[in-house]
Amino acid sequence: MFFLLVGVLGVGAYLAMLLSNQLSPGITQALAPPAVESAVGTDLLLEASVLPVVDDATLMANCTSEFGCWVWSVTTRADCPVATVTVGFSDTPDGVATRTTTRQVAAQGEVPFLIVEEGVSTAAEFAGIQTITC
């Protein structure tokens, strides 16, 4: 039952990300499903809402890169004073991450926060939040 729930949540999040794949010029996005081997209770991504931000006002207010940005609105169900967010980047929508970035945020349950990743070149690249661990 647990794996079924994880699969349904992962597929739903992946499809939502694909529906809004163009965030800003030259920036596209895909969501890599969370790893199944993640420990239960520590991977906040399993029950989080991760939505791409596509409105121009939010993108312009949070992006300073000349190459564009990816911006996600994340809402976790649980509080975590020090959550580590890992974002993976690849050359294809379902490819293996060729680079990753991590950042730490304070996550408050049911309160959305933004994750902003700036583009580093004009080359097409896909990005997605891979894990949020507490």
Three-class HEC string of 18-83? HHCCEEECCEECCCCCCCCCCCCCCEHHHHCEEEECCCHHHHHHHCCCCCCEEEEEEECCCCEEEE
- Residue 27: strand, helix, or coil: strand
Task: Please choose, from the candidates 134, 114, 131, the residue with its C-alpha nearest in 3D space to the C-alpha of residue 45.
Answer: 131
Over residues 34-87, the pLDDT tens digits come to 433 333 347 899 999 999 999 999 999 999 999 999 999 999 999 999 999 999
Pairing of strands 49-52, 99-107: unpaired
How confident is the model at residue 34, as a pLDDT? Answer: 41
How confident is the model at residue 81, as a pLDDT? Answer: 94
DSSP symbol at 123: S
How confident is the model at residue 18, as a pLDDT? Answer: 33
How confident is the model at residue 29, as a pLDDT? Answer: 54
- Residues 54 and 85: their CA atoms lie apart, in Å, by 20
Using 50, 70 and 90 to split pLDDT, how confident is the model at 5?
Answer: very low
Task: State pTM to two decimals.
Answer: 0.68
In terms of Cβ atoms closer than 10 Å to its own Cβ (0-12, 13-18, 19+), residue 2 is exposed
Helix (H) or strand (E) holding 118: strand 113-118
